[in-house]
Amino acid sequence: MAPDTLALLKDGTSEVVPEGGLEEKLALGRPLRVKLGLDPTASDVTLGWAVVLHKLRQFQDAGHVAVLIVGDFTARVGDPSGKSETRPRLEKEAVEAFADRLLEQFWLIVSKDRLEVRYNSEWLERMDMETVLRLTSSYTVARMLERDDFSTRYAGGRPISISEFMYPLLQGYDSVAVEADIELGGTDQLFNLLVGRELQRSWGQAPQVAMTVPLIEGLDGVQKMSQSLGNYVGITEPPDEMFGKLMRIPDQLIGKYLRLVARMPSGAVDRIDEDLAHGSLKANDQKRAMARSVVDLYHGPGAGARAEEGFNRVHRDRGLPEVIADVSIPDRAAENGVVWLPRLLVALDLATSNGDARRRIEQGGVKLDDEPVTDPAYEARVDELSGKVLQVGRRWFGRLA
């Protein structure tokens, strides 16, 4: 194994357990089985998920076999990692729909060569009681409570279900079922990955190496990127939407996004971080460069520059986007052929209530044909509004029809 390949595989990782384990596995001189498990509990692959998917792709490019575990069974149990409350179970039909949608997006990152896609229902649904008891005897309650999320909830008197204790065991058994050499995951998955090592020992297998990658904060700059929190960017979002969202990240995250999301080598990012700290580089310029790189990564060369032009037109030059979608005026927005503007915003899901719509209008956040409308009592006939461009906030545009 060439030193530069080893450095590439380790670059951007948070922890490798055991230390030196990756080198030992690579010294076996055969294609390694590199496992990544993802529970289909949402519809979009976010830039946060993409971090570990790109690491899996690096192993593929180095000649190893990616074993992608679609956790269609474990998703129904619910991963307790980082959760302060018991997570509700998902129905099988919902999980299967999410899985189909996510796999379509995985191929934007993961190669279909040197790949196994396995659904863990293949072995977990068939598991008999003897195997279940063997699993539960492999780990003690005391060791389970060493997990930060479990220990915090236990100390606070919040409930922990037995099924949540089962989750790390089931995920660990996935490693036994596919005979994983290496397992990848986010830093919040380290406990589960280490359980896999213990179970492999119990089943007479060589324990896998656990490799974690950092979690990235979402657009709020505080909490982990998550669809449930709405602070995420999806890898299939339109270029303009992706660029605009990335321009919202706090300046202190520029380096992290360059390294983990834009896939820039760590050495180059370190130099940029130093220059930003010394003031020889402008944060906004580097944020734009990062956003262009990410858009190019998922939409092709040049897409980032075009998205930036659209961003400038809307945000800096205060112009209109080149492409504006046609939006039909919902029937419920009109009474006797007359549309009251707050009611229209609610009908288009651009405001949560008439009161919310009034506030947006009074604060100057609503325009018609690039002219602010500040009177919440504004009304117009449907035919008068037809063809006008409605703008709400800085980024939503629609041509009324």
**CATH number for position 303:** 1.10.240
Q: What pLDDT, on the 0 to 100 scale, is given for residue 1? A: 52
* Both structure tokens of 205: 């297998």
148 and 277 together in one domain: no
* Both structure tokens of 52: 């570990």
Angle in degrees, 0-180, between the axes of helices 283-299 and 239-246, rounded to the nearest 10:
150
Picking from 263, 291, 316, the residue at the C-terminal end of a domain is: 316
Q: What pLDDT, on the 0 to 100 scale, is given for residue 40? A: 86
**CA–CA distance, 75 with 332 (Å, rounded to integer):** 39
116 and 175 together in one domain: yes
Q: Is residue 229, in this structure, part of any structural domain at all?
A: no
Picking from 316, 349, 373, the residue at the C-terminal end of a domain is: 316
Q: Is residue 330, in this structure, part of any structural domain at all?
A: yes
339 and 302 together in one domain: no
Picking from 316, 334, 368, the residue at the C-terminal end of a domain is: 316
Q: What pLDDT, on the 0 to 100 scale, is given for residue 62? A: 95
169 and 289 together in one domain: no
17 and 48 together in one domain: yes
Q: What pLDDT, on the 0 to 100 scale, is given for residue 146? A: 78
245 and 331 together in one domain: no
31 and 58 together in one domain: yes
**CA–CA distance, 397 with 108 (Å, rounded to integer):** 28
Residue type at 322? Answer: E
120 and 189 together in one domain: yes
Q: Is residue 226, in this structure, part of any structural domain at all?
A: no
Q: Is residue 218, in this structure, part of any structural domain at all?
A: no
**CA–CA distance, 41 with 92 (Å, rounded to integer):** 11
Q: Is residue 222, in this structure, part of any structural domain at all?
A: no
115 and 138 together in one domain: yes
88 and 140 together in one domain: yes
* Both structure tokens of 138: 């492999």
337 and 309 together in one domain: no
Q: Is residue 221, in this structure, part of any structural domain at all?
A: no
Q: What pLDDT, on the 0 to 100 scale, is given for residue 88? A: 59
> Domain span at residue 190?
3-213
Per-residue pLDDT tens, the chain, 401 aa: give them.
556 889 899 988 999 999 999 999 999 999 999 999 988 888 889 999 999 999 999 999 999 999 999 988 988 887 676 554 555 567 778 888 888 888 889 999 999 999 999 999 999 999 999 999 999 888 878 888 877 778 888 888 888 888 888 889 999 999 999 999 999 999 999 999 999 999 999 999 999 999 999 999 998 888 999 887 888 999 999 999 899 899 889 899 999 999 999 999 888 999 999 998 888 989 889 999 999 999 999 999 999 999 999 888 776 655 666 667 888 888 888 888 889 999 999 999 888 888 888 888 988 889 888 788 888 899 888 888 888 889 888 778 888 87
CATH number at residue 126: 3.40.50.620
**CA–CA distance, 355 with 343 (Å, rounded to integer):** 10
Angle at 191 between CA 186 and CA 192, to 5 degrees: 80
Q: Is residue 26, in this structure, part of any structural domain at all?
A: yes
CATH number at residue 367: 3.10.290.10
Q: Is residue 220, in this structure, part of any structural domain at all?
A: no
347 and 392 together in one domain: yes
What total of structural domains would you count in the chain?
Answer: 3
